[in-house]
Structure 1
Amino acid sequence: MKKTPLPELVGRIGQTAVAKALRVSSPAISKALRNERDIQVIEHDDGTFTAEEIRPFPSQHTAA
């Protein structure tokens, strides 16, 4: 199992490949990068990928 920050993985294998691996849309990856979300992608030993986000608790939604 290996954890990689989302921007680093996108830089290594590309946005489309990351989106496909996480079963989300490419625009979802783009938005996460644009908003600088702290997302770690986990590559499991069986070759599958999952992701987790680190954020403050309680989370405060701020208006733009």
Structure 2
Amino acid sequence: MQRTSLKEFVSEVGQLKAAQALCMTQGAISKALRVEREVYVISLGDGKYRAEEIKPFPAQIQRLAS
């Protein structure tokens, strides 16, 4: 199992093939790259891929009451 950043994966195979491999649209790949989401592509070894995103937890910033 190999883990690669989405940016690196796209640079190797192109946006269209990356989108097809991840069952996404090319537009979704483009937007993820543009907003610099922290996405990693994992090769499952049988020609299939999956992606996972690393996000802060909790996703929303907690505001202190004044």
Q: Tell me the TM-score normalized by structure 2.
A: 0.89
Distance 2:39 2:2 in 1: 13
User: Superposed, which structure 2 residues align to 1:8-47 within 5 Å?
Assistant: 8-47=8-47
Q: Which has the larger radius of gyration?
A: 2
In structure 2, list runs of 5 or more residues that go unmatched.
Answer: 62-66
The SS at the match of 2:42 is strand
Q: After superposition, what is the alpha-carbon deviation per residue over 1:2-37, rounded to whole angstroms, capped at 9, x for unaligned? A: 000000010011000000000000000000000100
Distance 1:49 1:56 in 2: 24
The SS at the match of 1:18 is helix
Distance 1:13 1:47 in 2: 13
In structure 1, list runs of 5 or more residues that go unmatched.
Answer: none
The SS at the match of 1:59 is coil
Which contiguous aligned blocks of 4+ residues in structure 1 show a shift greater than 6 angstroms?
none
Once the two structures are aligned, what percentage of the paired residues are identical? Answer: 51
Distance 1:43 1:12 in 2: 13
Q: Tell me the TM-score normalized by structure 1.
A: 0.91
